[in-house]
Amino acid sequence: MKLTHNIYLIVLLLITTQLIKSQSLLKKDKAADHHTYLTTRIHGGVVVPHHANMMYFIEEYSKGFEINYGRSVFSMDSWQSYFNYPEIGIGFYYGTFGNKDIYGSGFALFPYINYKIYRSPKLSIHNKVSMGLGYATKPFNDKENIYNNVFSSHLNAYIGLAILMDYRINERFSLALSTSLTHLSNGAARKPNHGINTLTASLGTKYHFNKALTPVMAKTKAPVSRLQELLIVGSVGRNQSTPYNETLYWNASLSANYLFHLNEKRAVGFGYDQFYSESAPYTWEAYENGNEEISFTSRHYLFNALFCSYNVFLGKTTLFLNLGAYLHTNIKPPQAIYPRLGIRHQITNKIVANFSLKASFFRSEFMEFGLGYRIENPFKR
């Protein structure tokens, strides 16, 4: 488990470094092209009780704060111009979960991107997407904290969505308002793992290192691309099948994904997944049926599928969503199709780092980390 978390941290640092680095590749005599910000917000709101037993334990409102360091690149030569010049950066979050004795509180470190909804020289409205590494102070413990069924490990994945509004009140400061939804869970690496959601409103300030007003520029149409690529990715992960079975099972996958680039910002594709999952029989069949007599062999751990893929390119970082359909399994899956979403970072022209989450619709199955190899235009003579 420690190895898995270390890999997760390495992937996060690679992505964060690249996001910050990609904003810095500007000529020194064009400082007006980029605007840098430091934003602080104070949050207040509620924990969303998505399981009935949570309603008995939530005693107070959720409170917290957030610090973001970000930059917008206003250059028509940058990939940011294809996305209407978003703000990209790294953030830190702290929040409580409605009951400090049972759920404790959480911290998160994450890269983020703020997509523009509306922009004028003084007023900006964005939607924010963030994903990073979270830490929960009081996870489930079968001896000391049996009522916490929302997460069972200190280290978790953090996902944040928000609507932001900033209004420039002088050359250095903006008033910063937001409504946010955050999620913290470990992707079924440990059980129980219902995850915890908070819905908050915030008030804060944004400091502008560049005193110029925000430029208002037209979005650049991404150039059409005829690039095709074959991406082969191998990944591994570990998870727990049930709360009271402390065994950590190995999961692995080998994926071949053929991508057709539509332009410099998007690609679609199709591919083949070969899975090896020691936990699948217990979470798919035995756990559902409650039959402790069932025994499994290695053939039950192997299953394969075909999938279609949608990809969004943010410089050297790729966000992807796959939707797959099982071809053959030796046990019955919860559903015939499955989603898989994640993030990849291009380390070199050929090598990519991968982090993804495989699920059965709204239930996480396992997180995985791996490396991939790119072959551009494999069939081009």
pLDDT of residue 31: 47
Do 100 and 187 fall into the same domain? yes
Q: What is the mean pLDDT of residues 365-370?
A: 87
Asked if residue 220 belongs to a domain, the reply is no
Asked if residue 352 belongs to a domain, the reply is yes
Asked if residue 262 belongs to a domain, the reply is yes
Length of the chain: 381
d(CA 215, CA 227): 32
Do 295 and 149 fall into the same domain? no
- Least confident range of 41-45, 127-131, 268-272, 275-279: 275-279
Do 292 and 370 fall into the same domain? yes
Name which of 331, 321, 217 is nearest 281 in CA terms.
331
The pTM score is: 0.79
User: Please, which pLDDT band fits residue 333 given cuts at 50, 70 and 90?
Assistant: confident
d(CA 277, CA 122): 52
Do 157 and 295 fall into the same domain? no
pLDDT in tens, 98-115: 888 888 889 999 999 999
Domain total of the chain? 2
By residue range, what is the domain housing residue 288?
Answer: 228-376
Do 190 and 261 fall into the same domain? no
Q: Which residue has the higher pLDDT, 56 or 163?
A: 163
Do 180 and 270 fall into the same domain? no
Query: Regarding beta strands 228-242 and 87-96, do their DSSP bridges make them parallel or antiparallel, or are they unpaired?
Result: unpaired
d(CA 338, CA 340): 7
Asked if residue 217 belongs to a domain, the reply is no
User: Please, which pLDDT band fits residue 25 given cuts at 50, 70 and 90?
Assistant: very low
pLDDT of residue 51: 67
Asked if residue 214 belongs to a domain, the reply is no
225 backbone dihedrals φ, ψ, rounded to 5°? -125, 140
- Choose the most confident range, by mean pLDDT, from 30-39, 45-54, 183-192, 371-380: 371-380
Asked if residue 219 belongs to a domain, the reply is no
Do 38 and 70 fall into the same domain? yes
Do 65 and 111 fall into the same domain? yes
Do 8 and 71 fall into the same domain? yes
Q: What is the mean pLDDT of residues 175-197?
A: 82
Name which of 321, 343, 325, 322 is nearest 333 in CA terms.
325
Do 257 and 338 fall into the same domain? yes
Asked if residue 213 belongs to a domain, the reply is no
Helix then strand count (H, E) for the chain reads: 3, 16
Q: For the chain, first and last CA: distance in Å?
A: 45
Q: What CATH number is attached to the domain comprising 168? A: 2.40.160.20
pLDDT in tens, 66-101: 999 999 999 888 888 999 999 999 999 999 988 888
Q: Are 351 and 371 in contact (CB under 8 A)?
A: yes
